[in-house]
Chains A and B, each alone.
Chain A
Amino acid sequence: MSTLLFPLFAQEVAPAKPLLPLSAVDIIIIIIYFGFVIGIGFYLKKFTKTGEEFFMAGRDMTAWVAGLAFLSANLGALELLGWAGASYQYGILAVHWYWIGAVPAMLFLGLVMMPFYYICKTHSVPGYLALRYGQAASMLSAFSFAGMTVLMSGVNMFAMAKVMETVLGWDLNFSILVSSLTVAVYVALGGLLSAIFNEVLQFFLIWFGALLIPILGLIETGGWQGMVDRIHKNFPGGDYTHAWRTLGSFDDNPMGINWCGIVFGLGAILAMGYWTTDFLVVQRVLTAKDLRAAKMAPILGAAFKMFVPIIVILPGLLGLAVLPEKLVGENVAVAGQHTYNDVLPLMLARYCGPGLLGLGITALIAGFMSGMAGNVSAFTTVWTYDLYKPLFNPKGADSDFVTMGRWTTVLGVLISIGTAYLVMHAASIMDYVQALFSFFISPLFGTVLLGMLWKRGTPAGGFWGLLAGTIASIGMWAAVKYDHNNLQYIALSPHAKDMAENMFRSIWCFLATVIITVVVSLLTTPKKDAELHGLVMGLTPQPEEGSYPLIHRPIFWAGIIFAVFLLLNFIFW
């Protein structure tokens, strides 16, 4: 979710020399990774002959594989670098994007929303909208998602090339060419199956590439308390290690946000929207082999998500404690000065010698590549099933769609390359693309949620509600862009900062979507109950879980994970 909130690397100032000098063994480790992912693509091609296999990985994944891919699709390198930098800048406040900004939403997806997605056998979120509301709402969602996804892939590609230039001194063109070719080959060959295999592989690589930093950092500082003492010594007066204590008002914390924005804006709307309706992540769960696996996948993802701060937030905090230099923001950095986003590479360089350095860099590259592959595979599915099929080839054979999917993958990568070069020549485009993506998340959540929980919602209500919410979001964003003082009206405080805008904007545009959908629905004719079977609560028979022992039930594990989530918030209050 970092891409929704942080303008990363666009204006980064390259240091005079690369941060990390690689040795021969580091290069070998990186080359082996590329060999592995391309090899997996060639191997999996023979298993992806039908549409279900190419676009939905055969709907045959276990809860573990689907859950890890669901989490990995979000755990990209931008996420790692961006949030490690954010934790250096804001302290442990950044952990909210991993706890309240993820765990409740993932559990909600597994327990409440997944049955509707899964039982109706949709290929995508716009596909669900087509079944529930009709083609108008689906097309609006599909066009916006397809366009933004492929642009985000280009932004990812550029960000990767920029990081590789800054950290390793690699040429931008070389990084873009190698990464795009690799992604094109392995997704075009193996489709979503290939993307999922590589995401699970990347999940373990990221953990083993990054876990040494907090381990060695805590050894160096003498444990958690030693780290806190050092932070207080280096930054007297700042509170970097309490997650909730400074959220009483906007001016008590460096983020310029209050608890209301975090709980309702981030936790209840933005996170819910991202984790339950962004097809990039939901697609992974739709590949589960049965309903119980589909419900368990996001629940398992939530369990792992809770502990990702160990490899993302903790290194940022350790950076505050041990780094001899003070890092600065992107907009004030001068040549040779390191920025917040450099904290993870700096910590990597601090503790990792030959071999370990290659492992860490491979983890970053894997994160970038799977981020691109995730975007491209989701784009391919939405384009093929939600746009190409209804608009151009409604009676096409299954093999036609697979062929279209493979070519669309190549096309998606080519558009991504174009976007990457566009961003290279006009860095501000990156900010706009990231902002564009955020416009659709909260309204879509309102539309999908009402569609699942309220059978009175009509096709007209769904379309106009989604459109109104999106326009409201764009309007608020433009108002702040035009005059930054308008932020105080959106966030309801003159002390609010940029981060608060995202949270409060999401609340208002969600409400706009819900209100317009309800009003228009009440004024228009609803669908017949028979057309809504399998799509709406009350008209969708839910399979009983009674035959499974308690320990195998999703609700049991969701309860355990929610209890741990509450405990963690209490400990770091």
Chain B
Amino acid sequence: MISNHPHAISIWFLIGLQFLIYGVLVFGAGIYDAYVPSGRDIQLADLHAAIWWGAIMFALGLFYTVRFRPRRES
């Protein structure tokens, strides 16, 4: 049973890790797009949604990754 297993990784940790990685990528893509626009016609592009959305995902991912990180049982 995974939740009782001493070395099991929490599902919340995996979700946090994925959000952390995606947060970095989306944030980075947003920064890049702010300086080198993709050329596509995107509405409300001046709000730079990718930057703050990526930052939110990163922060959430960081919280879950730290909060539910695997710990070794003594």
Measuring CB to CB, which residues of chain A are less than 8 angstroms from any residue of chain B? 21, 23, 25, 28-29, 32-33, 36, 40, 43-44, 47, 53, 57-58, 60-62, 65, 193, 197, 200-201, 204-205, 208, 212, 216, 219-220, 289, 322, 350-356, 358-359
B14 contacts A36, C-beta separation under 8 Å:
yes
Contact, CB under 8 Å: A60 / B1: yes
Establish whether residues A62 and B18, one from each chain, have CB atoms under 8 Å apart when the complex forms.
no
B45 interface residue, CB < 8 Å from A?
yes
- The answer to whether B50 touches A53 (Cβ under 8 A) is no
B21 touches A32 (CB 8 A): yes
Question: Which chain B residues (28-66) contact chain A, with CB distance < 8 Å?
Answer: 28-30, 32-33, 38, 40, 42-45, 47, 49-50, 53-54, 57
User: Is B57 a contact partner of A353 (Cβ separation < 8 A)?
Assistant: no
Considering the chains assembled together, what is the distance between the CA atoms of A103 and B26 in angstroms? 34
Among B9, B22, B43, contact of A359 (Cβ-Cβ < 8 Å):
B22
Number of A-B contacts (CB under 8 A): 106
Are B38's CB and A216's CB within 8 A? Answer: no
Query: How many Å lie between the Cα of A28 and that of B54 in the bound state?
Result: 15
B18: which of A25, A36, A356 is its contact (CB, 8 Å)?
A36
- A204–B5 CA distance with the chains assembled, in angstroms: 25
The one of A58, A200, A205, A219 in contact with B11, judged by C-beta atoms closer than 8 angstroms, is: A200
Task: Considering the complex, give the chain A residue whose CB is closest to the CB of B17.
Answer: A36
B contacts with A, residue count (CB < 8 A): 34
CA distance A249 to B63 in the complex (A): 51
- Are B44 and A29 neighbours in the complex by a CB distance under 8 Å? no
- Classify the secondary structure of A's interface with B: helix
Query: Chain A CB within 10 Å — which of B4, B26, B28, B40 has the most?
Result: B26
What are 9 contact pairs spanning A and B, CB under 8 A? A23-B38, A25-B29, A47-B8, A197-B14, A216-B43, A352-B42, A353-B42, A354-B32, A356-B29
Q: Are A29 and B9 in contact (CB under 8 A)?
A: no
Add 15 more A-B contacts to A53-B1, A60-B4, A354-B32 (CB < 8 A): A25-B28, A25-B29, A32-B21, A47-B1, A60-B3, A62-B3, A193-B2, A205-B18, A208-B19, A208-B22, A219-B44, A351-B44, A353-B40, A355-B26, A358-B25
Cβ of A29 and Cβ of B43 under 8 Å apart?
no
CB distance from B3 to the nearest CB of A (A): 5
Expressed in whole angstroms, the Cα–Cα distance for A99 and B33 within the complex equals 39
Known contacts: A47-B5, A60-B4, A193-B2. The answer to whether A353 contacts B50 by CB under 8 A is yes
**Cross-chain contact of A216 among B5, B18, B49 (Cβ < 8 A):** B49
**Which residues does chain B contribute within 8 Å of A57, judged by CB atoms?**
2
CB neighbours of B8 from chain A (8 A): 47
Q: A47-B5, A208-B19, A354-B32 are in contact. Are A359 and B26 (CB under 8 A)?
A: yes
Q: Cβ of A356: which chain B residues have Cβ within 8 Å of it?
A: 26, 29-30, 49-50, 53
Partner among A32, A47, A208, A351 whose Cβ is within 8 Å of the Cβ of B2: A47
